[in-house]
Structure 1
């Protein structure tokens, strides 16, 4: 939550989600997902700077990924579990009928694959 608050302090960031991904050396590393209408490549640097200044260098994310939209339920809750499944397994297993936009899963997979 603290990391997401730091990210949201950066101008032009619409939404942000942070998930923990297992890492064989570091234990768990943060992956940052964000949406923005601004496609400025400097946004990733601004996010890193915001996290470093508010939390510390030790909290730097392993990856910072811009996605067109967050996977959300109809009530607006961001489904971080789905983001984690996409990163870890490349796809989502289980029911996604409760999503506001089920097509967002394919859109997010494409965005992640394009930024690897």
Structure 2
């Protein structure tokens, strides 16, 4: 094995880890969005902001596993006209090449009118 081969292999593996980390961060964004959407559905159905926040936390924990500790507790508001939920998270990169990813997700849902 030559030095060029070893350097190329090392660079390729480094690039693979960076791309994998970016994909995981995009996945985490999707989980956060799905969590707040589930939370507002729960909040509209129950009329309770606590059940909304619990549902958001449950979806985040189920979807992110150990990464869920990087997410702040959700904030939910429920009013007669609907519900809103928001969650913030800060995910560190796996390597110094990947910057810290600060993200948030919000969702709003109108209450259903009962005739």
**What TM-score do you get using the length of structure 2 for normalisation?**
0.30
**Higher RCO (C-alpha under 8 Å, 6+ residues apart):** 2
Rg: which structure is higher? 2
